[in-house]
């Protein structure tokens, strides 16, 4: 039971995993020059989730991108449910169309094991200081290193540029990990918000991986995540879907 709850908690966190179980809808175009000088748009999106045979989860997941008074940016993710509460934050600078994190924090509580973690970036020394459960350590990093939350935002921004092969260096757990993604096509997704033109993305994993996930991003809504479907190795199925959002001044709701 606890293993399923932990998997559900990770799914509520909207992880970006691998999928090989859908067929690509169409080819993807090359990067557009229209996105040469990209601007961030404040966004707030609310999600619901279901698992297995559509059993609803009593809770909501909220993602919000906002600019702070000093000109830097904050990207937040919060889950409140009867299973798990998650609070995740990253503050960053927007430098040459790429996220430069300054500090990241993660806190989880509920039926699953509690967890706290922070990552502080020092770009002068090209290093990060990790602290998981009061066990700090440091490591060197290359340029364009991200954390476990900011890479998900950078993925959206790169999709807006027309990129189709996406590779991210992520500082996590004392290691520098490489996450690789691929655009596999386009699809007009039928949702409770209407029909939405989406770009479909998968994470590239090892061929023997049994975890399968696919994500849909809305082309007309600043590449907002609209839906995610994930199948775990034991056959459990989880789904995240958009309930409502605000992208700049545009309100999106049923």
224-231 and 237-247 strand pairing: antiparallel
Full pLDDT tens readout for the chain, 254 residues: 444 445 545 544 544 332 222 222 222 233 333 334 578 999 999 998 876 656 666 667 899 999 999 999 999 999 887 777 889 999 999 999 999 999 999 998 988 788 899 999 999 999 999 998 888 889 999 999 999 999 999 999 999 999 988 999 999 888 899 998 999 999 999 998 999 999 999 888 778 887 777 899 999 999 999 998 877 777 777 888 999 999 999 999 98
Evaluate if pTM is beyond 0.85. Answer: no
**CA-CA distance, 171 to 120, in Å (whole number)?**
10
Long-range contacts of 88-93 (CB under 8 A, 24+ apart): 88/13, 88/149, 89/149, 90/147, 90/149, 90/150, 92/150
Is the separation of the CB atoms in 202 and 20 below 8 Å?
A: yes
**CA-CA distance, 161 to 31, in Å (whole number)?**
6
**CA-CA distance, 210 to 198, in Å (whole number)?**
25
Is the separation of the CB atoms in 171 and 141 below 8 Å?
A: yes
């Amino acid at each position: 039971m606890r293993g399923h709850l932990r998997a559900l908690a990770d799914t509520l966190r909207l992880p970006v995993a691998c999928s090989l179980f859908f067929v690509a809808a169409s080819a993807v175009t090359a990067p557009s020059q229209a996105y040469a000088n990209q601007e961030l748009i404040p966004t707030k999106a609310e999600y619901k989730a279901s698992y297995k045979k559509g059993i609803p989860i009593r809770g909501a997941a909220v993602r919000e991108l906002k600019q702070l008074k000093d000109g830097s940016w904050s990207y937040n993710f919060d889950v409140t449910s009867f299973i798990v509460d998650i609070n995740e934050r990253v503050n960053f600078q927007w430098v040459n169309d790429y996220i430069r994190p300054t500090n990241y924090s993660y806190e989880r509580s509920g039926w699953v094991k509690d967890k706290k973690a922070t990552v502080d970036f020092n770009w002068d020394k090209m290093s990060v200081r990790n602290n998981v459960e009061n066990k700090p350590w440091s490591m060197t990093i290359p340029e364009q290193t991200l954390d476990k939350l900011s890479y998900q935002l950078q993925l959206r921004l790169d999709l807006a540029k027309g990129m189709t092969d996406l590779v991210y260096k992520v500082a996590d757990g004392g290691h520098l990990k490489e996450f690789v993604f691929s655009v596999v096509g386009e699809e007009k997704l039928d949702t409770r918000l209407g029909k939405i033109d989406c770009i479909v993305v998968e994470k590239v994993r090892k061929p023997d991986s049994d975890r399968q996930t696919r994500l849909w991003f809305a082309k007309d809504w600043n590449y907002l995540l609209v839906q995610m479907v994930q199948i775990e190795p034991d056959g459990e199925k989880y789904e995240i879907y958009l309930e409502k959002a605000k992208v700049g001044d545009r309100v999106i709701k049923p």
